[in-house]
Amino acid sequence: MADTQFVLASASAARRRLLIEAGIQPFVCPSNFDEDAVVIRDPQELVKVLASGKAEAVAPQFSNALVLGCDSVLAINGITYGKPESEAEAIDRWRQMRGGSGELHTGYALIAPGREPLVRSRMTRVFFAHVSDAEIEAYIATGEPMHCAGAFATDGKGSMFVEKIEGCHTNVVGLSIPLLRQMMAELGYRAIDFWGRT
């Protein structure tokens, strides 16, 4: 296990940053998994299937690696949202979200050599401020919401418009570090053994 590589099957800069801050320097290998081909209404199941698809698409490229796939969606009033496809969509979404709350679901799939994939999900409730139309338009104009599930980032300018969260904060950013540690332990790995590796 000492020479096991940690691979992140995601192009997310936020996930990579969280791993580095937690002491793990991942090898980034984004998957070509077709997310649009997956149609599942339940957000918890959806993110697990998407995370699994990403991890399973990348894992065969590595002979000795822990491969992590992740995906996030925001559910509001029973409707699931990923990244907005246009600025107009992002503005409409924020007009729905302001003054209310949503459930941010992130799915995790961790694949280890010779083991069955471990798949989990975690939900964090996010409460949004009652922001004005001008604030919404200014935020969308920054471009930040266009790259985020739910059209907001709690680790950027969007933090100004989030009143509170209930649950794991890093899950909203894109990767629950406490859950990752638990999943690694279930597969027989210690997160601390990856500290300092390059």
| Residue positions annotated with a catalytic role | 71
C-alpha dihedral sign at 75, 78, 83, 84: negative
The amino acid sitting at 25 is Q
For residues 85 and 187, what is the distance between their CA atoms, to the nearest angstrom? Answer: 37
Phi, psi of 117 (to 5 degrees): -60, 145
Write the secondary structure of 40-58 as one string of H (helix), E (strand) and C (coil): CCCHHHHHHHHHHHHHHHH
Place of tokens 């949202």: 81
Cβ(77)–Cβ(101) below 8 Å: no
